[in-house]
Amino acid sequence: MHPRLRSLILAPLMTLALLAMVGTPAHAAAWSSSDRWGTWTDQGYILYNNVWGSGHGYQGIWANSYHEWGVYADHPDTGGVKSYPNVTWNVDRRISEITDLTSSFEVDVPNGGAYATSYDIWDVNHDYEIMLWMNQHGPVGPLGSYQTTTSVGGHTWNVYRGSNGANEVFSFIRTSDTSAATVDIEAVLDWLDNAGWMGDVILGDVQFGYEITSSAGGLEFVTNDYAVAVN
C-alpha cells in the first residue's frame, strides 16, 4: 500500500483511539479542550477546565451546552486539590435585591478517586466563598471547623467555617450524597446573614462542578443537566 494512502486510512483511526482514551463522548461535542485554562461560553454560562492545583495530571473537558458537559481526569493519587472544572453563572446583584435564586443539577460521578461535586459561590470582591457539597468520595474534607448541622435550602447539611488566608470559607456538606437535586441558594444566603457570618454583599459567580483531588487511571464526570434561575 502506498505510504500516503496508509496514512490517510490510519489517521482517522488514531484520532478515534485518542478520543476514546481521553473520555470524549461518542457523539461529537460542540466544544472540547485539554488546555488547563480552557474556557467556552454558552448562553451566558462559562465552562472552565480549571486545572489549578500542583502535581496535577491530564484533564480534558467537553460540552454540548452549559447544561450538558463533562470531564475526563487522570490526576495522581496524591493529596491536594488538582482541579475544579465548572460551569459559571455571574449574578452581579446585591443579595437584598434577589428574591429567588435556585439551581438544579443531575450528574454521573465515578465510584473511585477522591473528589466532591460542589457549588462554589462568591461575592464580587472574593471576600466570601460558599461551598455546597452535594456528594463526595474518597479522602476529602472541608476547610475549617464544624459549626452546626442545619436544614436549609431543601437539604440537611453539616456546616463548617474557616479561612484559606485570602477569604472566609463557609462549607455546607450534605449529610447524604445525591447526584440530582434542586438547591434554594437564596435560603442559604439568608441563613448566613441571620448567623451574622456574611452581610448584604454583591453576589458574583455561582459555580458548579467537580473539585478533584485524585482520579488515577482516568475517571469520567458527567453533567447531564444544570441550570441557575435568579429573580
Q: Looking up cell 460521578, which residue turns up?
A: 109
Nearest to 72 by CA among 85, 91, 89, 88: 85
What DSSP element (H or E) covers 198?
Answer: none
Query: Quick one: pLDDT at residue 11?
Result: 38
Query: Quick one: pLDDT at residue 28?
Result: 66
5: pLDDT strictly greater than 50: no
Question: What pairing do the DSSP bridges indicate for beta strands 145-152 and 128-137?
Answer: unpaired
What is the identity of the amino acid at 22? V
Please give the mean pLDDT across all residues of the chain: 91
pTM higher than 0.85: yes
pLDDT tens digits along 110-131: 999 999 999 999 999 999 999 9
Domains defined for the chain, CATH in brackets: 31-230 (2.60.120.180)
Q: Cα–Cα distance between 22 and 60 in angstroms, integer?
A: 7
Question: 151: which residues sit within 8 A by CB, 6+ positions away?
Answer: 157
| Grid cell in block for residue 46 | 462559562
Query: Quick one: pLDDT at residue 185?
Result: 98
